[in-house]
Structure 1
Amino acid sequence: MARLQNQVALITGAGQGVGQGIAYALAGEGARIAVIGRTRSKLDVTVAEIQRRGGTAIAVEADIKRAEQLGGAVEQVVAAFGGIDILVNNAQEVPIAPLLALSEDALMAGWESGPLATLRLMKLCHPHLKKSGRGNIVNLCTVAAMRWDVSNYGAYAAVKEATRQLTRAAACEWARDGIRTNAILPLGDSPAMAGWTAARPEEAAAFVSTVPMQRVGECEADIGRFVATLVSDDCRYINGQSIGVDGGQAFLG
């Protein structure tokens, strides 16, 4: 039997990239998928592909920066599937700029779409994850915070590190409720990665050269399948961890 048979997974930002890869992988293990994002056309692509493969999925259009829309999105998922077993917080607006050029609007967008949206969704989903008895939360963070030189990436690292600390707090506070909470720090061949490579080709090439496996991970095969394992009973004693899914590039020790 598939490891996630009949479980319900709510995944933000699943219309493309890493979120989409996670959605495909979890669906492949039998989970019913709710993909959440702002662009309906992208969500529909993910849903159609899951259905083409024989899985079950719905699209829920919502701006994760809007608290009232998040509440409505969770209600839609529960109404459609009867509960929530897995929450994956993937969506994030990324503020990348030197500090002197960083606008407050960009920083606020990173904060609202990152740690604030993550906390809101964790709290909204908590009663459903608790009721499940096997609840899982996976929050996506970044190895940018592990750089020796964080020039230009300070704001991005800051909002993602806030998410990582919320992850640890939830792991400590909610394990007694039957909920495991972990963070992954992925390196995936997403549209965001492609855009960064196009904008900063020399920097991107130098970065990839530091990956021991000498390649960027595939969104479904490398990152999605790892998440499917992480939220399965095969990892039932893993809680509160930050795990690099990046071919060995970052040392978190």
Structure 2
Amino acid sequence: MLDQFLKNKTAIVTGAGQGVGQGIAISLAERGATVALLGRSLDKLKATLEIIKQAGGKSLAIRVDVKNPQDLVAAVERVVAETGGIQILVNNAQEVPLGTLLEVDETKIEAGWQSGPMASLRLMKLCYPHLIGDGVIINLASSAGMRWDMSGYGAYAAVKEAIRSISRAAACEWGPEGIRCNVIMPHAMSPGLKWWTENRPDEAAEFIASIPQRRIGECKQDIGDFVSMLCSEQSRYVNGQTIALDGGQARVS
């Protein structure tokens, strides 16, 4: 039996239908949290919900387009109505704009901006009243912002670096009210990364070779379980940090 150190906590996880979001949601539920699963595909969310249910955990699935402010308002209201509050917010959902500066589609950049930093900020503000006292926010950025060669990654890195700035501001502004906000930069075998390794095998091989541990992380064991720890009382003095969960590849500054 795992330690239920998040018992009586409610968590929201966006993009919880697959990949890193799913891994985080499952881990939080294993530690006792009731997890609100948010995402665009109800079928994928139901798959995560079933995994949690089979393990004896508690969750609810809410179809949401994180780019739609009204969807976010309705989701937060439903979570509070059904669970009584919110103590943990994990902003994981992100549409990824890839391509060189001359090639990348501006509509994809806008979608990246709206699904990433804007959605994160909106949910942070909506959850803020419920997080006061002992709340935890975990936002996801990317080590793409640390690449020495940014070719093809400038737009993606830009939206992810905006999330880091918002997160640091929240840590400073809301810390006195008992709210912690941290950022993780994970490498894990999500569907997106799997697609990348299959479609850019040479680049992916070079990428993996640059990881000191020579492997890509597991969504639940390497990323989700760390997030659970970061939400725990044992991490109560960790605030305003960007933490790379990448086997030692990135040097974060």
RMSD: 0.6
Distance in structure 2 (CA, Å) of the matches to 1:59 and 1:79 = 14
Q: Where do 1:1-253 residues align within 5 Å?
A: 1-130=3-132, 133-253=133-253
Distance in structure 1 (CA, Å) of the matches to 2:99 and 2:199 = 13
Any idea what SS the aligned residue of 1:101 has?
coil
Distance in structure 2 (CA, Å) of the matches to 1:40 and 1:69 = 14
One-letter amino acid of the structure 1 residue matched with residue 243 of structure 2: I
TM superposition shift of 1:6: 1.3
Distance in structure 1 (CA, Å) of the matches to 2:252 and 2:125 = 28
One-letter amino acid of the structure 2 residue matched with residue 122 of structure 1: M
Distance in structure 1 (CA, Å) of the matches to 2:163 and 2:250 = 18
CA offsets, 1:110-165, max 9 Å, x none?
000000000000000000111xx210000000000000001000000000000000
One-letter amino acid of the structure 1 residue matched with residue 209 of structure 2: S
TM superposition shift of 1:198: 1.2
Any idea what SS the aligned residue of 1:243 has?
strand
Distance in structure 1 (CA, Å) of the matches to 2:159 and 2:175 = 24
Any idea what SS the aligned residue of 1:99 has?
coil
Distance in structure 1 (CA, Å) of the matches to 2:35 and 2:104 = 36
Distance in structure 2 (CA, Å) of the matches to 1:56 and 1:80 = 12
TM superposition shift of 1:235: 0.4
Q: Structure 2 unaligned segments of length 5 or more: list them.
A: none
Q: Which ranges of 4 or more aligned residues in structure 1 deviate by more than 6 Å?
A: none
One-letter amino acid of the structure 1 residue matched with residue 238 of structure 2: I
Any idea what SS the aligned residue of 1:92 has?
coil
TM superposition shift of 1:211: 0.5
TM-score by length of 2: 0.98
Q: Structure 1 unaligned segments of length 5 or more: list them.
A: none
Any idea what SS the aligned residue of 1:100 has?
coil
Distance in structure 1 (CA, Å) of the matches to 2:117 and 2:231 = 21
One-letter amino acid of the structure 1 residue matched with residue 64 of structure 2: A
Any idea what SS the aligned residue of 1:206 has?
helix
One-letter amino acid of the structure 1 residue matched with residue 48 of structure 2: T
TM-score by length of 1: 0.98
Taking only the aligned residue pairs, the percentage that are identical comes to 55
Distance in structure 2 (CA, Å) of the matches to 1:177 and 1:45 = 36
TM superposition shift of 1:252: 1.1
Any idea what SS the aligned residue of 1:151 has?
coil
CA offsets, 1:150-207, max 9 Å, x none?
1000000000000000000000000111100000000001101100111101001100
Distance in structure 1 (CA, Å) of the matches to 2:199 and 2:100 = 15
TM superposition shift of 1:3: 1.1
